[in-house]
Amino acid sequence: MPSHTLDGDVYVTPLYLAGSTTVGDPAMQPLLDHGCMAHSDELANVYVSSPDQHVRLGFLPEVTDNTLWKVAAHSDPFGPPDWLATFDSNTPTELVTAFTSALATTYAKDPDAALTGPGRPAEEGFRPLEDAGWKRGSWQLTTLFTAPDEIAGLTYRGGVLDRHAELRGDQDRWLLWGGRDGFSSRWYATFTSSVPVDLIAATTARLADPAPVLRYEIEVPKRNRGAAQIRPVSPPVPTPLDVRRAAAARARSHVGHLVRRAPAASATTGSPSAVPPTRLAHRRRAAAARS
């Protein structure tokens, strides 16, 4: 299987302000690398499942409820899921990839460990945020974590929750969020009670990671740009061949300029061939179309 990585023309930090790339390949690839299979429907939604049908992922760009990702585990392939994780359409792709990478690794080592309940205390899911200096609070049975800039957070609801209400989305055991308030800028991710805590810890560790991520500038939500740190990707150092090609291109451009200005130029004289669009320009146009 090929490796799918993200690219872009700017670096963005923190991750939770970067927005989604809307590209599903990086987050699906860990499961595909571990033997899961994928198929799509006529609407371009993609479904990934383990050979035994116990682990399933849906990448759902054509679903209208704004949930782009659903990941579930089924001890009974024909029954309701034992647990469910969801990521909406604005969630940074790297967070979904962190979750699916941990899931794929766990499932490859011990399929039962991916299906069973937490097994570890909820504190292990909080620890990456606490270690990164996020502010901790509480309200009744609810534990709260807030990023230093207060533009991302985690809510963990204690006590007894109704399993069916969790699966319907009426109650949230774990809720992650980030971004300025607004439809296109704020994202939400949820985990039901039985999601293994090590998968949540992998996600919160990526959330707290200060390393910048790649985006095309147009992909960064407008409301988040003022609070995010954004810097251009430095162009690579040109090789001698690049220098020679650039000099040749300038020479062609200079000749074309003289031809266009010459008063005796024939009406049949052609202008120099246009330089084809770069891959970067193509990607920017594609990103603009997606937005």
| Residue 246 and residue 227 in one domain | no
Predicted local confidence at residue 273, as pLDDT:
34
Measured from the Cβ of residue 13, the count of other Cβ atoms closer than 10 Å reads 16
- Hey, what long-range contacts does 246-255 have (CB within 8 A, 24 or more apart)? 249/275
- Which of 231, 249, 264 terminates a domain? The answer is 231
Q: Give one word for 159, left, alpha or beta, with left for phi > 0 and alpha for psi -120 to 50.
A: left
Residue with tokens 């390393």: 211
Percent helix, strand, coil in the chain (nearest 5)?
Answer: 35, 20, 45
Predicted local confidence at residue 237, as pLDDT:
65
Closest CA to 135 of 122, 126, 151, 148: 148
At 101, is the secondary structure helix, strand, or coil? helix
**Residues 119, 144 contacting (CB under 8 angstroms):** no
| Residue 264 and residue 172 in one domain | no
| Residue 203 and residue 245 in one domain | no
At 119, is the secondary structure helix, strand, or coil? coil
Domain count for the chain: 2
- Which of 189, 207, 231 terminates a domain? The answer is 231
| Residue 211 and residue 275 in one domain | no
Predicted local confidence at residue 236, as pLDDT:
63
- Which of 231, 254, 281 terminates a domain? The answer is 231
DSSP at 291? -
| Residue 159 and residue 30 in one domain | yes
Which residues, listed in sequence order, are joined to residue 178 by a DSSP beta bridge? 152, 187
Could you give the CA distance from residue 197 to residue 121 in angstroms, rounded to a whole number? 7
| Residue 245 and residue 226 in one domain | no
Q: Residue 134 falls within a domain, yes or no?
A: yes
Q: Give one word for 124, left, alpha or beta, with left for phi > 0 and alpha for psi -120 to 50.
A: alpha
Which residues constitute the domain of residue 285?
240-290
Q: Residue 1 falls within a domain, yes or no?
A: no
| Residue 200 and residue 269 in one domain | no
Residue with tokens 């920017």: 284
Measured from the Cβ of residue 120, the count of other Cβ atoms closer than 10 Å reads 13
pTM: 0.79
**Residues 69, 54 contacting (CB under 8 angstroms):** no
Tokens of 165: 């209400």
Predicted confidence (pLDDT) per residue in 56-94, tens digit = 999 999 877 889 999 999 999 899 999 999 999 999 999
**Residues 7, 26 contacting (CB under 8 angstroms):** no
| Residue 188 and residue 59 in one domain | yes
| Residue 227 and residue 263 in one domain | no
Residues of the chain with pLDDT under 70: 1-5, 118, 235-238, 242, 252-291
**Residues 142, 152 contacting (CB under 8 angstroms):** no
Measured from the Cβ of residue 96, the count of other Cβ atoms closer than 10 Å reads 25
Radius of gyration of the chain (CA): 24
E strand or H helix at 127: helix 123-131
Q: Please, what is the Cα angle at 44 between 43 and 47, to 5 degrees?
A: 110
| Residue 152 and residue 280 in one domain | no
10 Å CB burial of residue 243 (0-12, 13-18, 19+) is exposed
| Residue 50 and residue 109 in one domain | yes
| Residue 180 and residue 285 in one domain | no
Could you give the CA distance from residue 97 to residue 71 in angstroms, rounded to a whole number? 12
**Residues 126, 143 contacting (CB under 8 angstroms):** yes
Predicted local confidence at residue 262, as pLDDT:
43
Predicted local confidence at residue 7, as pLDDT:
79
